[in-house]
Chains A and B, each alone.
Chain A
Amino acid sequence: MSTAAQAAFRLRDVTVRFADLVALDNVSLTIAPGERVGFVGPSGAGKTTLLRLLNANQQATSGKISLLGQALEQLDQKNLRQVRSAIGFIPQHYHLVPSLRVLQNVLLGRLGQQGFWASLRSVFFSREFEQTKVHALLERVGIAEKLFAKVDTLSGGQQQRVAIARALYQAPQALLADEPVASVDPSRAEATMALLSTLAEEQQLTLGVSLHDQRLARAFLPRLVGVRHGKIFKDAPAQDWTDTDFEELYHLDQSDLVES
């Protein structure tokens, strides 16, 4: 087996350019299966673009990407859907379908593994075993009683839990969360991080989380990757990150002020 097949995620000299903005500049990164990695760095540094790359939701301008052992450039639409389906992605704003119920939103997690008619049957005429499965997942994330609630009646924290349950329903090999603690209140932030890292440990998922909070990052994620100006600033075990490293990572210099 090649090394590419062994890594969960592997980027080689990847650059992403939007019009005249370079979001990621020649980034190389390897993440092993079961690793839990935090992506830290200032807003606009390229963390979200990086996560989207890891979910095959962002095209690279140049460079090589392999996800779950599959080289991205060789995948057709069908295989691309399979890879995406094997990676649970929790967007910062959850991106649930507001007019559907919690049950249906969680069931949407399997779309990538179903044909159109099967998914229509599953989402609108769910069978008992599917409801039981979703109920168990909701119980795991702590909102079992909301099974039949409309998503737009839930609080932000509850919606986040639905998004996590939806990602888990995919039965993924990896879990990616974009700024999961940026839009929840501080008291919830710790619980959210604890939930994500326990879930990853229990189910041996590779975990990638982008966040700002250095205390939470150090507490829950064994490996931290600092991103600044679209480049990898530092990639090291959490205990090797000093306070000075964080200060430097978040330090605003003249070019930041000019850019914004």
Chain B
Amino acid sequence: MNRAAHWLGPRRSALLGILLAGMIGAWLIQLDPAQLFGRAQWHQLGEFFKAALRPALAYEDPNPASDGVFLSEIGFAIYKTLLYAAAAIGLSLIGGLVFGLIGSTRAWLALASPAKPFRVLSMSSMFLVRLVMTILRSVHEIIWAILFLQALGNLPLAAVIAIAIPYSATLGKVFSELIDEAPRATAEGLRANGASVLQVYVFGLLPTMLPDLFAYLLYRFECGLRSAAVLGFFGAPTLGYYLSLSWGERHFHEVWAYLYALLAIIVVCDLWSGAVRQRLTTHHAA
């Protein structure tokens, strides 16, 4: 008995526990590997991946109804995806800056009067703000999109707001951490002049945070491109919309063309943001 317990130890028992939980879970949802075999869909999946080698350059099914050129349609879809992502990120920047300030410990500490009831009030307001931010962040943009499309109809605003809500809260969290970790010195210097909390934020903290803030914003823009594309499945005229139409018609070569287009803009965005970040940091260090 004792030897068995010794052999198990904390690491092995954790591993065994996870394995056991996995098996119970698989059993409960009736996971059956046998279902994988002998299915006609495998053939279709093979077709789909074979199409990856030859993405479409023209409509697969010359359809008299679609009068445009396929490549120009991709161009249009890319353009719309960029626009939606840019609008959503612009809105999130505003939301993020506001959430960043009111979600930071430092702002509330600065506001808090020495009197104890005030301290309690301002600390509980801070936790309330953070709770709201967490809730907004933890609901995925697709859920927000479904909600807003219901409420507003298929408007560009619905898609943009759907992306901007969780992104504002995420940016707000990152910005509030930047504020709380920014060097105290400049903020102290301005407070000594009699600056208000908002003035300390805008003049003392934002300028020093700018490179980090901008770098993170560019990263979010990249995520925004993906989100904007995905919201196409719900009707926004972005890459996802055209992708879902082609998928519905089993035009896999077209699907791959859209996927490659999405990959291309994300890679370009990544290269661009990398270059900008490098310029910002070297400029900052100089």
A residues adjacent to B (C-beta < 8 A): 55, 57, 59, 77, 80-86, 89, 91, 93-100, 108-113, 116, 119-120, 123, 163, 166, 170
Contacts and interface: CB of A to CB of B under 8 A. Distances in A.
Interface of B: 111, 113-114, 185-186, 188-196, 198-199, 202-204, 207-208, 210, 284
Contacts of B207: 97-100
Contacts of A86: 194
A108 B190 contact: yes
Which DSSP category, helix, strand, loop or mixed, fits chain A's interface? helix
Contact of A111 (B114, B185, B193): B193
18 contacts: A57-B192, A77-B111, A77-B113, A81-B195, A81-B196, A86-B194, A89-B192, A91-B189, A94-B189, A97-B186, A97-B189, A97-B190, A97-B203, A98-B186, A111-B194, A112-B194, A119-B199, A120-B202
Given A91-B188, A97-B186, A120-B202, 17 more contacts: A81-B194, A82-B194, A83-B194, A84-B191, A84-B192, A86-B194, A89-B189, A91-B192, A93-B185, A95-B188, A97-B190, A97-B208, A98-B186, A111-B195, A111-B199, A119-B203, A166-B193
B262 to A, nearest CB: 36
Given A93-B185, A98-B208, A84 B193 contact: yes
A110 B202 CA distance: 14
Which DSSP category, helix, strand, loop or mixed, fits chain B's interface? helix
Contacts of B196: 77, 81, 111, 116
A108 B193 contact: yes
Nearest to A104: B203
Residue of A55, A83, A86 with most partner-chain B CB within 10 A: A55
B203 A57 contact: no
The 4 closest A-B CB pairs, nearest first, are A112-B194, A95-B189, A85-B194, A84-B194
A99 B284 CA distance: 8
A120 B198 CA distance: 11
A47 to B, nearest CB: 16
Contact of A170 (B114, B193, B204, B284): B193
B185 A95 contact: yes
Contacts of B111: 77
Given A59-B114, A97-B207, A112 B189 contact: no
Contacts of A81: 194-196
Contacts of A120: 202
B186 A96 contact: yes
